[in-house]
Amino acid sequence: MLRSLRYINNSTSSFKKCTSKVFYSTSIDPYTDKVNKARFDCIDQLQKADPSSLFISKLYPEYLRDAFIAFKSFNLELSKISFGFQPGATAKSKEFNNLKFHFWLQQLDKCNNLSLSNASQIILDINEPCTILLSDIILKDLKFNIEMLKQMVHSHQHFYNNNSSNGFNNLDEICSFGEGTQSQINYLLQSILLSPQLKGFSDIGIELLELPHSNSNNLRNNLTDISAHLGQATSIGSFLIGLKYFAERKQSLMLPIDCLTKYRLSEENCLRYLQGGYQDTSDIEEIKEKINNVVFDVATLANDHIISARSKLESAKSDIIQIANDNNRKDLLNCKKSFPECFFLPYMSGIPTVMYLERLEKHNFDVLHPGLQQKEWRLAFRTWNADRTRSF
């Protein structure tokens, strides 16, 4: 009892001392708080659905990191709709999901109309975490084309309406989806990283592109082609990774029909195998071999895109050296392997796909092999080495 009274007396005296002090508010303004919460939500989403992209985001300068996170998070939001289809969905359900795509287009229009003069009114109507980050990027005057984000919406909507339940007819359709989604993200990142106001970061890249030289257009084309090839390879790799998920959860097969026909493999047998429905060991080995052959064909196309991207990268490096030397600007070569970071960073997103294809080949293109279900622990080293050598 005495101990309790002594505690109360001490607390009272402490309170009296505190009341004589002046306290200052440490609260932040509502807009900054809104952006911080949006960033937290987007990072949490990436942590759960795309941890490799979250890791790669750490390689970006802090001022540009929100752009990478926003683009990746926006693609995940669209994936929730396009990949969230249910088998046997009604026409009304499909119509409702198409309205969701329209909602995202409206959000992008609001972001596109945003400026410092009208921000106080428009920002109130932008409440999705990824679009809040996008609006903050726009207010920072970082340069990107909003039409590329709209293209992502249209590509996901096309997939939802045409491929989600029926799968792909051929490999070109997978590449087309990759060009409309993952490649667009790469283009957006290229644009952001070359924003003119990023003094000390984008200067070398901008000067190399603007210097008069016969190879300038070739350099631009090579940089764009690398992003295109890596985006398509990433999309193909993603569908290979998700084969089991689509088969079990959506009763849908994301392997091209023409490849199945080539090996005389029915969709029903393929789905049963991926779902673990085969009990007769005499049949399962034959089905497994055919599926592995189909996966090999699909993975080969992804690898071809990576090989093309590597070839274009070497060509771009040669263009840079020639442009700098012919303009007597050897100072532009004072970066790792004479290849500016503002050019190379978007290509780091392709490294997880390269690593997955390597593991797939190691396990004889068996997508259900236990070794492919384990987390990839070498990503940190591979990204460090890629940055050091300017290769992937």
337 lies in the same domain as 222:
yes
19 part of a folded domain: no
Are residues 183 and 65 part of one domain?
no
Q: What is the pLDDT of residue 22?
A: 42
Strands (E), 150-237: none
Q: What is the pLDDT of residues 88-114, one digit of tens each?
A: 777 888 899 999 999 999 999 999 998
pLDDT recorded at residue 374: 85
Task: Tell me, yes or no, whether 2 lies in a domain.
Answer: no
Instruction: Quote the pLDDT of residue 117.
Output: 82
Domain that includes residue 41, residue range: 26-148
**Mean pLDDT of the chain, nearest integer:** 89
Domain for residue 129, yes or no? yes
What pLDDT is attached to residue 11? 42
Residues 223 and 358 in one domain: yes
Does 279 lie in the same domain as 139? no
341 and 386 inside one domain: yes
- Classify 335 as helix, strand or coil: coil
Same domain membership, residue 388 and residue 254: yes
> Looking at the 3D structure of the chain, how many domains does it have?
2
Q: Among 122, 148, 174, where does a domain finish?
A: 148
Q: Specify whether 311 is located in the same domain as 367.
A: yes
Residues 242 and 325 in one domain: yes
User: Model-level pTM?
Assistant: 0.89
Q: What is the CA 196 to chain-centroid distance, rounded? A: 24
In CATH, what number is assigned to the domain containing residue 222? Answer: 1.10.600
15-45 residues labelled b (16+ CB within 10 A) or e (exposed): eeeeeeeeeeeeeeeeeeebbeebbebbbeb
Task: Confirm whether 3 is domain-assigned.
Answer: no
Q: Summarize pLDDT for 243-273 with one digit per residue, the tens.
A: 999 999 988 999 999 999 999 999 999 999 9
Q: How far is CA 115 from CA 101, 112, 129, 140, 299, in A?
A: 24, 8, 19, 10, 44
Burial status of residue 112 (CB atoms within 10 A of its CB: 0-12, 13-18, 19 or more): middle
Do 380 and 286 lie in one domain? The reply is yes
Within a domain: 159: no
Q: Which residues of the chain have pLDDT under 70?
A: 1-27, 279-281
Is residue 140 located within the same domain as residue 176? no
Is residue 7 assigned to a domain?
no
Taking every pair of C-alpha atoms in the chain, what is the biggest distance, in angstroms? 91
- 205 shares a domain with 85: no
- 229 and 347 belong to one structural domain: yes
Residue 16 within a domain: no
Let me know if residue 191 belongs to a domain: yes
Comparing CA positions, the residue from 96, 103, 98, 97 lying closest to residue 74 is 103
Q: Tokens standing for 193?
A: 């990283």
3-state secondary structure of 202: coil
